[in-house]
Structure 1
Amino acid sequence: MCDPEAGSSTPKRVRKEPGNEKKSWRKQPFVDSWLEEPQFKGWLSKASDNYKAKCLCCKKELVAGKSELERHGDTPTHKTNALQIKNVPKISDLFRRTSGTEETKTKFAELKIVYDVIEHDRSFNSMEHIVQLNQVALPDSTIARSIKLHRTKITSLVNNVVGRAVQQKNAEVLKGNFFSILVDESTDIGNNKNLCILAKSIGANGITMNTFLLDYVKIKDASAENLFQVFKHCMSKYGLLFENIVGYCSDNANVMAGENNSFVTRLLKENDGIIVFGCICHSLNLVASAASECLPKNVESLLHLIFSYFSRSPKRQGILEELQDFMRACQVRMINPSKTRWLALGNCIARVLSQWPVLFSLFAEAKSEDKNTVADIIFADLNNPYTKAYLQFLNFVLPTFNSFNKLFQSDKVLIHCFANEAERFLRLLASNFLKPELILGDSLFTCNAKHPSNILPLIDIKIGAAAEETISDLKTRFDHDVSKDVEYFRLRCLQFHQVAFQETQKRVPLQQGCIRALNFLQPSNALGVDKSIQRANIELSPLIKKFESKIDPIATKDEWDHMSNYFSSEEKTAFLNLPILEFWREIEVCENFNAELQFKNIGKLARICLSLPHSNASVERIFSMVSDIKTKKRNKLFASTVASLVRVKLDMQNMKKACYEYPVTEKMLELFNENMYKKDHKETEIAGLLAAEDEEDETVI
């Protein structure tokens, strides 16, 4: 028989005794909302076990009960640990800051590369390969791996980051300062008309003269009205006031400087307290060009023919070099004579004269062997003894023009010596043909250069020692009488002198009251050290009247009268050793025993006058800079991009910094964001004056 209990699966029920039951207890899981409660925030964290909690301060696990956690938070040990780590940042925050620093370093590196692109006129397209090359060459560099520079990004950085930061900085400098403007228009390699507007002003330190590019725009029409409206908009865009303009300079074209309906007439309607200068370098070139009309045409054409004969033929150039070696002459090439700048012929003339025996022998042989028409013409001119005499005469007179021209092409502050140097130039011209009594005194500026009573005898007209020797040789070289030919030659040279003198009288503003009054800027005149000049003869009234809205006229005159007696001999000696900008800065900030500025008005007048331009050479340098930027392979750059490139290059020059030294400013880093890719739209008020731009690219295929 089987056991009845063996196959049963139902357990036996056991009766529990009263009083012996165990109390039931439920585990509390972690509640995520606790993390946001004030008493737990900052130190409570969820553990891997859902029924546990973790204290970040004490680094221990706790039972996930709210009351237990509250009791732990009140313990002295927990409070001490919490106080110790209160100021320790979170790991996530540390990583976030590191990431931000790396981003800033990358921006810094990208901007430095862009500086190199700007300074050295590098192609935007080529920089993509340069960046990739750096990444291959520097595989361990995190920054090199992070740099990304394509054409679009570089263009945006140039225009909307670096260029804009410099533009805003320039505007702030000019807003609180007096400045002069220099304006010119030109045609670039793409046959586009462009207007360039510069501003010259003394720097904030008072001892440097800075040049700023206000605008460089592509224009439709170069009429005076259109040019002025574009300029007016430029002033408005910068927030500049017309009343702060003290000087104006441009070339002598009618559209710019004409007496009626020109750019300058419109400018003077806005502010009549502006001193207007025609470019002295441009005027000097016109003087020389007008005087050259008195000489035979073949003299200049000979220079062009000689250069053309050799320029495109390596064979002919080789023959010239062999002949130079044989005749033991200096081995040099012929210089290309300028077709637009007559004064540039000086070096070309000197080169031809130095190679005269070589050239004569070469073209004598070429005439008989080559049967070349050009060679025949050149030899005929070389064989004419008067051709050499005319070139020697020009080689005597042109250095006077070129030295004066070169002086005022400088970027140095020269306005204080403008009148003296211009008068010196006129005296040198007059000394070649006028009687000595007319050269000294004010009669120099008013005398009639063609009146026979004012002119030296024809034999005494200065033509240069070399030309005199050539003319003397003619008398012994030929059997027939050459006196009439020599007289005709001297008469031509006299006409050159006369026209040069008259054109200088007309074009160089020697007698304008404001120009002559600028002599007060000379430190020796201001301090009364130069005894050869009477300070009483330096009349400041024209300048004071011109700028009377900017200074106190009476106080200015009084300060000028006291200035020469205020300083001791030792102080004057120290002052005279200073550059002119530093000299007047020291005068302007000079205080008396009451700590009051002693010469603030005359100092302010000097600062205004030192801001005046002496020539338009700075604009010509900008056009040369544009020619280096906008080449045949980069002929579709927008005018706005060219403007930004030039603006930054000028700022580098003003700061005397190379690309690796030029600073990355906070403003640049602020502008370096996603908004830099937004394109500026052409302002509606001048949209009709500016020419439309094609799609920007660096190359045209």
Structure 2
Amino acid sequence: MSKRKCKFTEVLRAKYPCFTSGRDEFDAKCSICDCHVDVGNKGTTALERHVATEKHKKMIRAASSSSKVTNFFQPSTSLILKNTHAAEGTLAFHTIKHHQSYNSMECTASLTRKMFADSETAKNLKCGKTKTEAIVNQVVAPHTITTIIETLRNISCLSVATDASNHGADKLFPILIQYFNWTGNGIETKILDLQTLPNETSLSIANLINETLSTHQLTTKCVAFIGDNANVNFGGVNRNPGQNVFTRLKESLEKEHLIGVGCPAHIMHNSLRNGIELMKLDIESIILKIFNYFSVYTVRTEALKEFCNYVEINYQPLLRHSKTRWLSLFPCVERVLKLYPALKEYFLSQRSIPYLIKSFFENTTSEAYLWFTHSLMSIYQANLAKVEEEHNSVLEISKILQSVLHMLRNRRINNFLPLSVREHLRDNDEAESISNEFISVYKACEDYLMEWITPLEDFKGFEWMTLLKENENLKYDDLVSCIEFLRIRGVEIDDVKLHDQFCNLISFLKSKSNEDEAYFDLKLHEQWTIYFKSVKNIECFSELLKICEFYFCISAHNANVERVFSLINTQWSKERNRLSVQSVKSIILTQYNFTSHVM
């Protein structure tokens, strides 16, 4: 008859805590010696014998005089560790938010440990420049994208925009999207990516946009492409099919009715240049020549100051005009006009000056050309700031451009010339021909502007959305063309629900007209956001929301991309030029996408 074996039971485990379960129920493992003891035959006696061995006693003495490796690490669930990680992430974000160098973190962490020596979190803070950069690249920047994608789950439409900027041999292309988030801030613009391309061909740009949207599964939501008016983007004013980004995106996204929006700031820029280039006197060259004459010569500048004192005008430095930003000519012309008497006296008193400058100041009609240029540019300058404001809708921009067009047309029809121009042309033999020349400039500016704003007429069906203040004139029939426009582009609207929701909207607007006039002074998208938030059930505005998500997702200009380029330039300065493209990308994603986050 076989003898029954002993087992390593819970009773034995409690009596001998240095032992744990072994390979089977008849086996025990000594955690101190890291060896196995068979208890099947002798049970407790086997454990007692092992504990009494010299080897076990030595291991106990060694263990008591040394620490375990695990003691040097915080458990992943440690509150101190979590607080430390949170503090390091906050410091990294603070560094980026306030445009500080990563090098500043070399002393920030050690200073924090000294200042808050009684804090366990501060004691564990180890966040130098390398770790801070890693946190931004691997944690904060990816989190901005995750947040955006999560927001877009409940949003049906977005537009995409891009442009190119050179940094040495690199061509940088930021990919921006715009959408309407009624639960957030209304119109929101975010950066999805920032990549370099080896060239600026339409194929490369279109592929980059398509790949970025596909990566985040956003291709079905994209309804519009926004870019400047270069041929590579749209193929000309008529948007002809061909080798351009717009056509390629239509094909790759499989969206025949994809909307293309050019930049109105570029349209105004080109309209003005198109007109002023018809003038016989090249004002742009004159302004550049005068600036360059004084820019690096202290002696000449000091002499000009003396002439300013002589003619009793206050000296102000001449301004530099950028050829790529043509509307920068306006403040330059304005400054030359303020200093004109002193400049004229100065140059005519010099023996040797550039011929172009000499002939300009000897010409009796030169000042008339300056005053006309200043008057014409003031139309554009006053409206340019409005055009480039953030979160303008397409029709708001269209109204601004139409107002510029209206002023140009009225000046042309009325043969208008400012009094300052007429005074300088009085009793001049060329007065009539110069006046006709100026009127032709109006016509050229007007024609160019009219041709390029034609595509914006497609959005006339949404005009009712901009008339919230004049709500007594709104009728449901105003929405019919809007519904048809959206249906063609795959956005189905339930007209029965829409009618009831429209009636509720009118009631809301009438109450605002009586109680809260300030409501109508807000941006258009803010007015709509407030309305949606005031309604308790989304079913009461579901169809209106579809329309708003489509309309407000379409960016009215490309100025947002230019703002990104400005952010990039602040990172790559003469003093800070060693950041990699990946690091700059992470910094820009953090700064731009988390604009509303306050530290």
After superposition, what is the alpha-carbon deviation per residue over 1:543-569, rounded to whole angstroms, capped at 9, x for unaligned? 533345333253376348746765584
Distance between the aligned counterparts of 2:333 and 2:460, measured in 1?
A: 35
Partner of 1:518: 462
Q: Which of residues 32, 37, 42 in structure 1 aligns to 2:13?
A: 37
Mapping for residues 227-246 of structure 1, pairs under 5 Å? 227-240=205-218, 242-246=219-223
Partner of 2:30: none
Q: Which of residues 227, 244, 258 in structure 2 aligns to 1:262?
A: 244
Partner of 1:252: 229
Deviation, structure 1 residue 202: 2.3
After superposition, what is the alpha-carbon deviation per residue over 1:389-415, rounded to whole angstroms, capped at 9, x for unaligned? 111001111111122221110013333
Deviation, structure 1 residue 289: 1.4
Q: Is the 8 A contact 2:330 2:374 kept in 1?
A: yes
Distance between the aligned counterparts of 2:538 and 2:182, measured in 1?
A: 21
Q: Is the 8 A contact 1:181 1:200 kept in 2?
A: yes
Distance between the aligned counterparts of 2:185 and 2:98, measured in 1?
A: 28
Q: Which of residues 540, 555, 559 in structure 1 aligns to 2:496?
A: 555
Distance between the aligned counterparts of 2:476 and 2:100, measured in 1?
A: 57
Partner of 1:155: 133
Partner of 2:420: 466
3-state secondary structure, aligned to 1:173: helix
Partner of 1:201: 179
Deviation, structure 1 residue 420: 2.7
Deviation, structure 1 residue 252: 0.9
3-state secondary structure, aligned to 1:188: strand
Q: Is the 8 A contact 2:330 2:377 kept in 1?
A: yes
Q: Which of residues 301, 310, 331 in structure 1 aligns to 2:315?
A: 331
Q: Is the 8 A contact 1:392 1:467 kept in 2?
A: yes
After superposition, what is the alpha-carbon deviation per residue over 1:255-291, rounded to whole angstroms, capped at 9, x for unaligned? 2122222211122232234332111111111111111
State yes or no: 1:391 paired with 2:332: no
Partner of 1:302: 286
Mapping for residues 261-300 of structure 1, pairs under 5 Å? 261-269=243-251, 270=253, 271-300=255-284
Distance between the aligned counterparts of 2:509 and 2:154, measured in 1?
A: 34
Distance between the aligned counterparts of 2:176 and 2:589, measured in 1?
A: 10
More moved, 139-148 vs 408-417: 139-148
3-state secondary structure, aligned to 2:555: coil
State yes or no: 1:646 paired with 2:591: no
After superposition, what is the alpha-carbon deviation per residue over 1:309-360, rounded to whole angstroms, capped at 9, x for unaligned? 2211223223333433444322311110111121111111111101111211
Q: Which of residues 98, 101, 125 in structure 2 aligns to 1:120?
A: 98
Deviation, structure 1 residue 651: 2.6
Distance between the aligned counterparts of 1:185 and 1:599, measured in 2?
A: 36
Partner of 2:481: 541
Pair 620,340 (structure 1): closer, same or farther in 2 beyond 3 Å: same
- 2:486 alignment partner AA: K
- Provide the identity percentage: 19
Coordinate RMSD, CA, aligned: 3.3
Q: Which of residues 388, 391, 395 in structure 2 aligns to 1:409?
A: 388
- 1:360 alignment partner AA: K
Structure 1 alignment gaps of length 5 or more: 1-32, 43-65, 67-91, 435-459, 476-481, 662-701
Partner of 1:528: 471
Distance between the aligned counterparts of 1:537 and 1:389, measured in 2?
A: 52
Distance between the aligned counterparts of 2:508 and 2:95, measured in 1?
A: 51
Q: Is the 8 A contact 2:158 2:177 kept in 1?
A: yes
Mapping for residues 304-453 of structure 1, pairs under 5 Å? 304-365=288-349, 367-368=350-351, 371=352, 373-374=353-354, 377-434=356-413
Q: Which of residues 143, 161, 185 in structure 2 aligns to 1:165?
A: 143
After superposition, what is the alpha-carbon deviation per residue over 1:59-110, rounded to whole angstroms, capped at 9, x for unaligned? xxxxxxx9xxxxxxxxxxxxxxxxxxxxxxxxx99x9689933333332332
Pair 96,185 (structure 1): closer, same or farther in 2 beyond 3 Å: closer
3-state secondary structure, aligned to 1:199: strand
More moved, 541-550 vs 640-649: 541-550
Distance between the aligned counterparts of 1:302 and 1:537, measured in 2?
A: 55
Distance between the aligned counterparts of 1:315 and 1:568, measured in 2?
A: 65
Partner of 1:176: 154
Distance between the aligned counterparts of 1:157 and 1:141, measured in 2?
A: 22
Q: Is the 8 A contact 1:360 1:379 kept in 2?
A: no
Q: Which of residues 441, 445, 456 in structure 2 aligns to 1:500?
A: 445
Structure 2 alignment gaps of length 5 or more: 1-8, 19-43, 45-69
After superposition, what is the alpha-carbon deviation per residue over 1:406-455, rounded to whole angstroms, capped at 9, x for unaligned? 11100133334233332222111100112xxxxxxxxxxxxxxxxxxxxx
Distance between the aligned counterparts of 1:171 and 1:561, measured in 2?
A: 30
Distance between the aligned counterparts of 1:323 and 1:142, measured in 2?
A: 69
3-state secondary structure, aligned to 2:223: strand
Distance between the aligned counterparts of 1:319 and 1:135, measured in 2?
A: 58
Distance between the aligned counterparts of 2:125 and 2:456, measured in 1?
A: 61
- 1:503 alignment partner AA: Y
Deviation, structure 1 residue 251: 0.5
Partner of 2:57: none
Q: Is the 8 A contact 2:155 2:549 kept in 1?
A: no
Distance between the aligned counterparts of 1:107 and 1:182, measured in 2?
A: 35
Pair 599,103 (structure 1): closer, same or farther in 2 beyond 3 Å: closer
Partner of 1:623: 565
Deviation, structure 1 residue 598: 4.0
Relative to the length of structure 1, the TM-score reads 0.69
Q: Is the 8 A contact 2:160 2:177 kept in 1?
A: yes
Distance between the aligned counterparts of 1:184 and 1:267, measured in 2?
A: 13
Distance between the aligned counterparts of 1:565 and 1:173, measured in 2?
A: 29
3-state secondary structure, aligned to 1:550: coil
Distance between the aligned counterparts of 1:146 and 1:568, measured in 2?
A: 56
Distance between the aligned counterparts of 1:625 and 1:177, measured in 2?
A: 28
More moved, 125-134 vs 503-512: 125-134
Distance between the aligned counterparts of 2:534 and 2:104, measured in 1?
A: 54
Count of aligned pairs: 530
3-state secondary structure, aligned to 1:339: coil
